[in-house]
Structure 1
Amino acid sequence: MPERDLVAWNSQLSALGQAGHLQEAKDIFSNMPKFDALSFTSMIQCFGQHGLLEDAKYFFLALPHKDLVACTVFLVVLVESGCFHKAKNLFESIECIDVVSCAVILSAYADHNDSSIAEAEQIFYTMQRHNTFACTAILRLYSRQGQTHDAEAIYLGLPDQGEHLVPATALITAYACNGHLKKVQKLFDGMKERNEVTWTAMPTGYVNNHRLEDALWNFEKMPGHSEIPVIVLMSGYARSGHMLFAKRIFDNSSEKSAIAFNALLSGFSSNSQLLEAKTYSWIGAISRALDAFQTMVTTNTPDEARLTALPTSCAHKGTAAIAWDLFVSFQFDHSIKPSKQHYSCMIGVLVWSGYIQDAENLLWEMPYYPDSMHWKCLLGAVVSGDAMKNAISVEPSNSAAYVLIANSHIVT
């Protein structure tokens, strides 16, 4: 077999990194007869794209001569890891920056809440040319600051505005976040091409501005209903208390993922106290929540978030029996061991429904050590000697238990 050259070694490193075989990549690197800057850069990218910042940093620091490519790759790693200040320091240390490195650091400024818009503008306006990524980053930054006029000026400076999907979508978001909905619709209607992100931005913008009818109108115009706009619209209707519409959107959606189920169940839970005021019966809300749960278990494996949300939705009117049946069903029907959070939820349901002794028995019987929140939940309903003593002993510095005890003595 002919001896492999450096190009072959580097190609193998890159392939192993993309496939996620990190240890094999390390082994290959340690056995290479010689290295070049690309060898180290491949390792930086290999570990960086899998979130292993310290490993990527090790290879970056070990690189004798840090060229622009290696610096830019590690800059991307730092930005994607949320290390804004480290990324900023690295960028400032690069002697010969280019359009790519500028676009990367500008995206970091756009993502970081406390970043300086003046610094970002200085980087942007000293660039020899502006690519789509740099324009989108500065657009997003202006959007966050509420400077829609500046964002619009950047967009209008692009040739063939309607053909630039990413910056157009960023401007749509900027308009929507600042309530300029007429401009949102005008920009959207003038686009020559639209993708899923652009379509999703429309109902999202209207939902965030409490324009549910317009959101639904744009939603129904979409060529296909992916998960994100479905969840956005469901959540919008749920926040407004219109669970009948939220459930209808859910039923008509083709994709019913764990996130969609969580959104629906959380909507029923948060609205169970409001349904009577909005002419929906509370029993009907619980029935629909249970129906959603039964559909869920036939298509998905229930997770902890959903299993906690459903019993809580049964708690507000004291239907402890339903909540208890669900709690038992988790263990015997779905072979899921209840977590400490599940026990906390069930104890709360029993307390809210007036079953104080049952709540205290469950607290003692659960396979977890009770913390102060468990005892304070029990204490909030009735002050017993055990609850009083344990609530204080578990967390003596927390004032809530003392306030509850004091209030109970004032009442009595």
Structure 2
Amino acid sequence: MDFVSVARSLRRCRRFRASNCGKSIHSHLVKSGILRDVFFANNLMAMYIDSGFLDEAHQLFGEMPERNVVSWTTLISAYSHVGRPSEALRLFTWMLELKLEMPNSFTLSAALKACALAKNIEVGKSIHRHICGAQLQYDTVLMNSLLDMYVKCGSLCNAQDVFDSIPLPNLTSWNTLIAGYCSKGLMEEAVNLFQQIPEPDLISWNTVIVGYAHMESQEAVELMCMMHRAGVKFDHFTFPCVLKTCGFLRFITMGEQIHCYLIKSSIEFNQFIGSALIDMYSKCSQVSKAMKLFYEYLGYEEFIHDKMVLWNSIISGCASNKYNSATLALVSRFHSSGMLLNSYIFGSILKVCINLLNLRCGTQVHGLIITCGYHLDSVVGSILTELYAKCGSIEDALQLFWRLPEKDVVAWTGLISGCAQQGSNLLAFSLFREMVYLNVGVDQFVISSVLKACSSLAGLEGGKQVHAYCVKSGYESETIIDTSLIDMYSKCGEIDDGLAVFKHMDVRDAICWTGIIVGCGRNGRAKEAIEFFQAMLEKGVKPNEITFLGVLSACRHAGLVGEAFGIFRSMSVDHGLVPRLEHYCCMVDLLSQAGCFEEAERLIFDMPYEPDETIWGSLLGACVSHNDVELGKRVAELLISKSPDDASVYVTLSNVYASLGMWDCSTKLREVIRKVCLKEAGRSWIEVKS
């Protein structure tokens, strides 16, 4: 038999993955007895592995009368390569126990890859000891595998020690350790390493950019500019990362510049760049541009087999921007084109149902999710839980939640925020305590939701416990949490604690300034509210409509008519904001309480909105305080004609009559209320000493 021809035939079977031909050769080798030769057996095993028949390769391995280190290494590498690290490590352990063949550097590298996949640091450390005992630490490729194992297992101290022990680290060594620091958010250490590389390559730059992009930091954009100035050419991996950062930070100008660069340069578009551009425009609220790009990319022939990622991006972008009709239209077109619905599409449809608080539509989508087999998907399950909770079906939300195979922080946050939104505040707080007890990774969003629940309960003790947890866990510096703490303390009547939180904040955006202004106004400290408003303007922070509503409410509580008028005028004159109905309502209430009825009526008739019951109700309520029966009757009649079933109108007018001693009129109105059964008994409660 021509051994050379057999070897050549096996190589061709491996190259073209011709498993049937390989099986024929296998039969021939068994009959001829040549398979006893370890060289041919190894080649046949490699043929099965390359053709995707790993179980057959393992069976052949077990039948081999003789095995060498290549045999063991080939099968261990195969199991690591296909993501079956347990089998790879079992084989490696068996090899060591038999002591027939000593593992070489290739075997050890394959075993280290399996340790990294399985996060098995103990076996990895034993391999590390073996490397040191065998004096293999001068093999840079092997040491890079060891370094990668420690990085993947999250042990950066050991990874740094390995890196320091490599006599001549190459670019792979540097990039692996940098990637490790980036994955843990330790960007200072990562950049320090990056700056020490003699000649960083494209992968080095991209690794640091990815690290900053995951932290959603503008440093990713700045590093890309440095990369361009250094003459390093971008690749398809660079742009999606930077565009992601532009989207999160709403750097629309920079995003558009990158888009122009892509058009002018010779870089070939792919579906990932296209998806990143669509996502960037969507996050910057430029949905029309995102849609235009999407329909343009649909016509690209090179995207014909990879359009799923584009569909995911545009549908998700429309849903996030609450373009509910557009989202549903896109999903309908997607489904009618014959493409299969996936977890991303279902997630977007459910977000539309949440936006619309449409439980009926949500339950129909839930049925479709079960039909398509996605009911056990953790992402879809988390959004379903949030849907039921925010639509008020708390029992269904809890049942879904406890059935989830994996309850991650997203699922907990959706359930807790839904409970808080629906007023099930005690349940929200109880769930948060259980989440902490189970050691689930709490984030700033779930803490913000539970603080909202404490605010609604006026539960100071619970709020202080959450605050203590934030300090202990290092979340106190998060702006979203500080703002929620200020809101909680102000609603619980402890504005001084809220002021203390505000004064210790490193970064203050418009939301936290608004929070402290509203809090001061709510607690009767109008002067401080106005002072904070002025300080906000001096710091160059742009106020929004809610900020103005907060400071005007503070003026209303203190009866500061002159100050309120000045702030109200500046809203449109100095800041280009159009006063909404709530701002007019606040001003009317202020003027009415001050007895300026003519000015209040003039403002009502001059405003560009149709006055609603709230505005007329404010005017009517002030008539009681100032005993203005004529105006009170006129306003009450107008309100009764608009809302004949509103008991508060009858009660307020009755109080006007009573305050003027017109008891007959007051009694008649009370009789009307009793006959029609308009007024229900009210109730309220507060927390006292927990």
TM-score range, shorter chain: 0.7 to 0.9
Partner amino acid, structure 1, of 2:7? N
Provide the secondary structure at the position in 1 that maps to 2:121. coil
Equivalent-residue separation in structure 2 for 1:310 and 1:77 (angstroms): 38
Q: Which residue of 2 aligns with 1:154?
A: 165
Q: RCO higher in 1 or 2 (8 Å CA, sep ≥ 6)? A: 1
Q: Which residue of 2 aligns with 1:292?
A: 293
Greater gyration radius: 2
Q: Which residue of 2 aligns with 1:307?
A: 311
Asked if structure 1 preserves the Cα contact closer than 8 Å seen for 2:80 and 2:114, the reply is yes
Asked if structure 2 preserves the Cα contact closer than 8 Å seen for 1:207 and 1:215, the reply is no
Deviation at 1:112, TM superposition (A): 4.0
| Residues 213-270 of structure 1 deviation map (CA, whole Å, 9 limit, x = unaligned) | 442234423533221222222233334443553454355332332233344445556x
Q: Which residue of 1 aligns with 2:103?
A: 97
| Residues 373-404 of structure 1 deviation map (CA, whole Å, 9 limit, x = unaligned) | 698677556579xx99xx69x9797599x998
Tell me if 1:17 matches 2:14: yes
Partner amino acid, structure 2, of 1:298? G
Q: 1:7 aligns with which of 4, 9, 16?
A: 4
Equivalent-residue separation in structure 1 for 2:178 and 2:350 (angstroms): 46
Distance change >3 Å, CA 183–CA 5, structure 1 → 2: same
Q: Which residue of 2 aligns with 1:231?
A: 240
Partner amino acid, structure 2, of 1:137? S
Distance change >3 Å, CA 50–CA 133, structure 1 → 2: farther
Tell me if 1:86 matches 2:90: yes
Normalising by structure 1, report the TM-score: 0.74
Aligned residue-pair number: 382
Q: Which residue of 1 aligns with 2:273?
A: 260
Q: 1:327 aligns with which of 328, 331, 335?
A: 331
Paired residues for 1:10-409 under 5 Å:
10-32=7-29, 33=32, 34-35=34-35, 36-81=37-82, 82-84=84-86, 85-93=89-97, 94=99, 95-116=101-122, 118-129=125-136, 130-143=138-151, 144-147=154-157, 149-155=160-166, 157-158=167-168, 161=169, 164-174=170-180, 176=182, 178=186, 179-188=188-197, 190-191=198-199, 195-207=201-213, 210=217, 211-220=219-228, 221=230, 223-242=232-251, 244-246=253-255, 248-250=257-259, 252-253=261-262, 254-267=267-280, 271=283, 282=285, 284=286, 286-299=287-300, 300-301=303-304, 303-316=307-320, 318-331=322-335, 334=337, 336=339, 338=341, 342=345, 345-346=348-349, 348-350=351-353, 352-353=355-356, 368=371, 379=388, 398=403
Distance change >3 Å, CA 247–CA 20, structure 1 → 2: farther
| Residues 183-202 of structure 1 deviation map (CA, whole Å, 9 limit, x = unaligned) | 323333x13xx654344334
> Structure 2: which 5+ residue stretches go unaligned?
405-410, 426-690
Provide the secondary structure at the position in 1 that maps to 2:43. helix
Provide the secondary structure at the position in 2 that maps to 1:151. helix
Equivalent-residue separation in structure 1 for 2:113 and 2:384 (angstroms): 47
Distance change >3 Å, CA 222–CA 198, structure 1 → 2: farther
Distance change >3 Å, CA 98–CA 395, structure 1 → 2: closer
Deviation at 1:350, TM superposition (A): 4.6
Distance change >3 Å, CA 195–CA 46, structure 1 → 2: farther
Provide the secondary structure at the position in 2 that maps to 1:314. helix
Equivalent-residue separation in structure 1 for 2:214 and 2:358 (angstroms): 40
Deviation at 1:64, TM superposition (A): 0.9
Deviation at 1:19, TM superposition (A): 1.6
Distance change >3 Å, CA 379–CA 170, structure 1 → 2: closer
Deviation at 1:153, TM superposition (A): 1.8
- Considering only aligned residues, what root-mean-square deviation do their CA atoms show, in Å? 4.2
Equivalent-residue separation in structure 2 for 1:67 and 1:239 (angstroms): 54
Asked if structure 1 preserves the Cα contact closer than 8 Å seen for 2:190 and 2:208, the reply is no
Equivalent-residue separation in structure 2 for 1:365 and 1:100 (angstroms): 49
Equivalent-residue separation in structure 2 for 1:62 and 1:303 (angstroms): 46
Equivalent-residue separation in structure 2 for 1:40 and 1:48 (angstroms): 12
Equivalent-residue separation in structure 2 for 1:10 and 1:219 (angstroms): 49
Percent identical across equivalent pairs? 12
Asked if structure 2 preserves the Cα contact closer than 8 Å seen for 1:106 and 1:137, the reply is yes
